[in-house]
Chain A
Amino acid sequence: MSRILILGAGTAGTIMANRLRRRFAKDVAAGKTSITVVDEDPRHIYQPGLLFVPFGVYRPDDIVRPRRMQLHEDVTYKPGAIEMVIPEDHAVLLKDGTRLPYDVLVVATGTRIAPEETEGMMGPEWHHAVFDFYTVEGATALARKLSTWRGGKLVVNVVEMPIKCPVAPLEFSFLADWYFTMRHMRDTVDITYATPLDGAFTRPIAAQHIGDLLDRKHIGLVTEFNAGRVDNERKVLVSWDGRELPFDVLVTIPLHQGAAYLKATPSLVDDNLFVRTNPATLQSTAFPDIFAIGDATNLPTSKAGSVAHFESEVLDDNIGHFLAGEPLEDGFDGHANCFVETGFDQALLLDFNYDTEPLPGRYPLPIGPMTLLGESRMNHMGKMAFKWVYWNLLLPGHTIPGIPARMSMRGKLAPATT
């Protein structure tokens, strides 16, 4: 009897449960292998859709489905909040006192925003003039605000890296430019993008391309801005080094942390409660029978659904190896693939991994149809089609035809080496 326990049934946990169910189909049906998934929230949210909620493109109902429905019926779904992992006992304790023993554990509890970590962020202006859009509640409140707003200063700020989907705040700024243009009020809105990074994006070539786009769309860029506190009375965002950004609407991407229950197992996580994970095998660096996937890891690649999907192919094999007593494969290369919505039915596409930064070119074939690091309508159509792909291909754990887990240099234009 093998007991596979998965913590979190979000993007990564759901994909893993459904893939492992397929791998061990006969054993699971015969009761020789069990696959159990724990989650505390009965709603599965299509998070990439949260970007469009503030602009009324999607309503909250369009992006939420029941969580149990996304899991194969042979997977055991255990609703409940996790209290702690006890690696020495090979068991997980839930808040209601249930004890779940495991032979292999997969941590897939993602990341949460922690606005309470920034002074004044959750003050009187929270969800009145200060908004997040990474939660259904935040995105909905922001939609209400923007639909009646008369204009003024809009500040979009990333508090600290890493955040999930590091392109989402840029996309938000581009869509804001589009939204206010369509409402014939762009000239009354001043948009500023403030980031702790020294450019518009983490890696140099993409930072240059995206910086140019911000410029063309008249979006101000403030770099190396480390937000220290929100002054609710004066409506200014103050950096640790004393710079001030006045706002009428502040859209914040608050500090991100791993799930709070991981605090109880310090040997498993880093300071931000992300699981210390082997970058190639996805095994915990502390306990051999624990693995991690998705936003919950500390790996130096984007926290994105596409990453969870690519990781799942590697983790599926490695859990097979682990349970069979075989050596693990160094299968994961950090592959990430992100559409960047730029407004007016256009989008960019980024494709990169641990070693290769996002490059210009065509994707997935040298003839396209997608364009890397350049705006196109085809990319936008890819972005909008991702919703269907997410529910129907990604979550059930299928491989996507033509898009392998490992990054390929096909179609990419390598920079001249210096």
Chain B
Amino acid sequence: MTTMTLNDTTLDVDAEGYLQKPEQWTPAIGEAIAREMGVTMTDRHWVVCNFMRERYLTTGSAPSIRSLGKESGVPIKELYELFPRGPAKYASRIAGIPKPHGCI
């Protein structure tokens, strides 16, 4: 495992920059990761990231795109407008949870 420093905090990350310890995350760190990836966070972005994080922490796995679309309150089309290059990948990185299994 490698580490990365953001906002003066040392974070455990994998080779692609996904946080490996969700407890090291704060909203400010999420904000900083987003900035690094070129995403400007709005309330709608946060609805998605918070939903993903919540679901990961309660069930141990991130939701699929389809259930994000059905249950987060943000329809799939809008998910891709918010995160054009892949909502699951981008939102999970910003939400400070490991890369979703589906990406392996």
Contacts and interface: CB of A to CB of B under 8 A. Distances in A.
A228 B66 CA distance: 11
Nearest to A285: B60
Interface string B37-54: 000000000000000000
A202 B61 contact: no
Interface of B: 15, 59-61, 63-67, 76-77, 79-81, 84-86, 101-104
Contacts of A73: none
Given A117-B66, A160-B102, A300-B101, A241 B61 contact: no
A13 to B, nearest CB: 22
Nearest to A204: B15
A162 B67 CA distance: 15
Contact of A197 (B60, B65, B79, B103): B103
A298 B85 contact: no
B86 A226 contact: yes
B104 A226 contact: no
Contacts of A202: 103-104
Contacts of B64: 160, 270-272
Of listed B65, B81, B103, B104, residue having the most chain A CB within 10 A: B104
Contact of B61 (A197, A255, A270): A270
A161 B76 contact: no
A283 to B, nearest CB: 14
A48 to B, nearest CB: 20
Interface in A145-202: 160-162, 196-198, 202
Contact of A240 (B60, B63, B76, B104): B76
Contact of B103 (A161, A228, A271): A161
A300 B66 contact: no
B8 to A, nearest CB: 24
B103 A240 contact: no
Contacts of A198: 85-86
Which 10 A-B residue pairs are closest in the complex by CB-CB distance? A240-B80, A271-B64, A241-B84, A271-B67, A300-B104, A300-B101, A161-B102, A224-B85, A270-B61, A241-B80
Contacts of B79: 240
Contacts of A239: 80
A224 B103 CA distance: 11
A121 to B, nearest CB: 14
A162 B101 contact: yes
A204 B14 CA distance: 13
Nearest to A224: B85
A299 B60 CA distance: 12
A301 B84 contact: no
Nearest to B65: A160
Contact of A272 (B59, B102, B104): B102
